[in-house]
Amino acid sequence: MDHRIKLYIEKTGILLAVYLLLKYLLPLVFPFFLAWLTVSLLASASRHFHRKLLPFTASVVAMFFFFTAATLKLTGWLLLEPCKDLIPELQTQLQTWINEYADLADWIPSSLSLHLSTAVPPVLSCAFGIFLYFMAVILFAHDWPDFQRLLTHLPFARPLEHAGKRIAQSLKGWAHAQIRIMFVIVLECTVGYWLLHVPGAGLWAVLTGMVDALPVFGTGTIFVPWLILVFCQKDYTFFVWLLLLYGITWLTRELLEPKLLGDGLGLLPVCFLISVIVGLKLFGAAGLFTGPFGILFVKELWTELEMWDSLQTPSASQCGDEKR
């Protein structure tokens, strides 16, 4: 078989294998994959505590629950103020609905039971997945060195390890840059929303920063519909100040992104956009992340294959020369 044709077949096999992995295997083991990723991220950070204070397992688990508690505390704090303002309005509105639709009292229980019967299974599945995730984090932390040694005995462990390290390095730099940019944008939005007297300024600022950090999306996802609504309401003063805040956040990302991200994930912007669209078509909402990750994974595995092939080709040609 021609050498180039063989290489194309191998690349096609890698592409198909990554698709099957993301489409069918990853959804089955997602809580365990997320737990493995969590422990691998915490492992390097916990080495200092492991040497100084605690055993490795205890330090990883302690850091995991600390970050979980801090995240829940921050989420609760952000939601508290908006909910305080909304609860009285919701109570009044609910009482109005009860008075207006009292005749529907016989219909509501049957309709509610129908909706509950369809909603309960996904909720239970999600709760069970969260339980598996927490259990897997503890088990991975307990057996982390043994599990790492087990991975080295898997087929194709060496090329996967090399590709994984390059992907991890790219993702690490990308995540650090995104967090810095998101922090600046959240700070700008917090000040801007507070000056504009927007209820729940902190919560909306964090949501704006998170949407801006998502692939393809930006602050325009929040600001553009908001600006259109405000303009239609003829609140031109608020419109001008909101437009100014949008311009500041957009300019912030345009100035900071090239400096902090550099080459980013090593994908051209158009390739990144295509990977997101294809990912959404193939994997649903999860494709927003699995699409770019899959393309990056395929790219690095192809690079590893080409490197291995370049090492094998000279040796094969030397053997042919010796036979002559």
What pLDDT, in 10s, does the model give residues 68-86?
Answer: 888 888 777 766 666 666 6
State the total domains in the chain.
2
The answer to whether residues 13 and 123 belong to one domain is yes
Task: Please state at what angle helix 56-100 crosses helix 201-213, rounded to 10 degrees.
Answer: 120
130 and 214 both lie in a single domain:
no
Phi, psi angles (nearest 5°) of residue 56 = -60, -50
Distance of alpha carbon 171 from alpha carbon 177, whole angstroms: 10
On whether both 101 and 217 belong to a single domain, the answer is no
- In this predicted structure, the answer to whether residue 306 has a pLDDT above a threshold of 90 is no
Taken in order 189, 195, 199, 200, the sign of the CA dihedral is: positive
15-37 residue pLDDT tens: 899 899 989 998 889 999 898 88
Exposure on the CB side of residue 135, measured as CA atoms within 13 A: 7
> What pLDDT is attached to residue 247?
93
Q: What is the pLDDT of residues 155-176, one digit of tens each?
A: 777 777 778 788 877 777 777 8
Residue with the bigger pLDDT between 40 and 185: it is 185
Query: Are 12 and 123 found together in one domain?
Result: yes
The range of the structural domain enclosing residue 124 comes to: 1-143
Summarize the confidence of residues 105-133 as an average pLDDT.
69
Does the predicted model carry a pTM greater than 0.85? Answer: no
Judge if 40 and 123 occupy the same domain: yes
d(Cα 121, Cα 127) in Å, to the nearest integer? Answer: 10
Q: Is residue 168 part of a domain?
A: no
Q: What is the dihedral of CA 26, 28, 31, 32, to 10 degrees?
A: -80
Give the residue carrying structure tokens 């300019």: 251
State which H helix or E strand residue 273 sits in: helix 269-283
pLDDT value of position 1: 58
